[in-house]
Amino acid sequence: MRVWFSILALCLAGSSAPGAKVLVWDHDGGQTFADPEGRGAVGTERAVINALAANGVANVERKFVLPYNLAGFDAVFVLCGFWPYDGRLSYTEQQILEDYLSRDGGNLYVEGTEVGRRYGQATLFRKFGAGFADDGRTMKEGNVDVAEGIGRWAGIRFEYYSYRSDKPDAYVDELTATAGEVTVRSSRAGNRSNARVVVYEAEGEPGYRVIVSSLIFGALADGKRKKKDLMAKYVAFFEITGKSNNMGIAPASLGRVRALFR
């Protein structure tokens, strides 16, 4: 009986949730780049927050310092920016993100042109179902001309506005899929790989989901497809559309519910 009361309490607590609660960790060091839609110099967070809102995810907290406990967030977006700043993660920050995945069963998006080179051998990166293949080319040589979806995200296609003109196209890491799946690649072949976005869903208790992107989301130019369309793929993959985990319950709470049945 105590088990069922515990479950009921969690469900009731979640039923009044205003929607998925998302953290955007703005860790790009204040970097800006030319906005594809002509709004001047923008940071990496702007397009992400706008696209989340366009998909009905309005309960977003933007922070410049990573909280120690992420259990209350249905999804966490980590924006590490681009070369030369490349948003380095301290050991403590890596551990916080690891705990969010392994302990809380969270949904994690990590973006940065250098995250593969910096952390490809780190324990955290091994949880992403992705690997690091190459550091990419200089901006003058060019890396990403067009970003196109493949597999489950086939049909998504964007011009990369920064191609050979702005720093989001400098040293864009080339990724591989280990346990995960490549969902976005550059049309131009890389040195070793043209994979730029990898998604991974880890099974187990608790399971977790990760999207790792070496592309800067905000550098994608709206055309036939809009950035909100790609964000819709992210939101659907994380299952945060409209309400929290389809139940209004934070990931950590779901983990406790699962634990009651072990």
Residue 41 lies in a domain: yes
Asked whether residue 13 is domain-assigned, the answer is no
Among candidate residues 54, 119, 126, the one with its CA nearest the CA of residue 86? 119
Residue 38: other Cβ atoms inside 10 A: 6
pLDDT at 236 (0 to 100): 96
pLDDT for residue 242: 52
3-state secondary structure of 22: strand
Angle 258-261-262 from CA coordinates, rounded to 5°: 95
Residues 6 or more apart from 29 whose CB is under 8 A from it?
A: 81, 85, 87
| pLDDT mean by block of 10 residues, the chain; 262 residues | 41 51 97 96 97 96 98 98 92 97 97 95 94 97 97 95 97 97 97 98 93 98 95 96 47 41 32
pLDDT given at position 12 = 39
- In 3D space, the residue among 159, 176, 120, 157 whose CA is nearest the CA of residue 233 turns out to be 157
User: Which contacts of 36-42 are long-range, i.e. CB under 8 A and separated by 24 or more positions?
Assistant: 36/159, 36/161, 36/218, 36/219, 36/220, 36/221, 36/222, 37/221, 37/222, 42/218
- The tally of domains found in the chain comes to 1
The CA-CA-CA angle for residues 32, 38, 40, to 5°, reads 35
Q: Domain containing 241: what range?
A: 2-8+19-260
Per the domain annotation, does 14 fall within a domain? no
Q: Is residue 69 part of a domain?
A: yes
Task: Output the pTM of the full model.
Answer: 0.87
Domain at 239, CATH number: 3.40.50.880
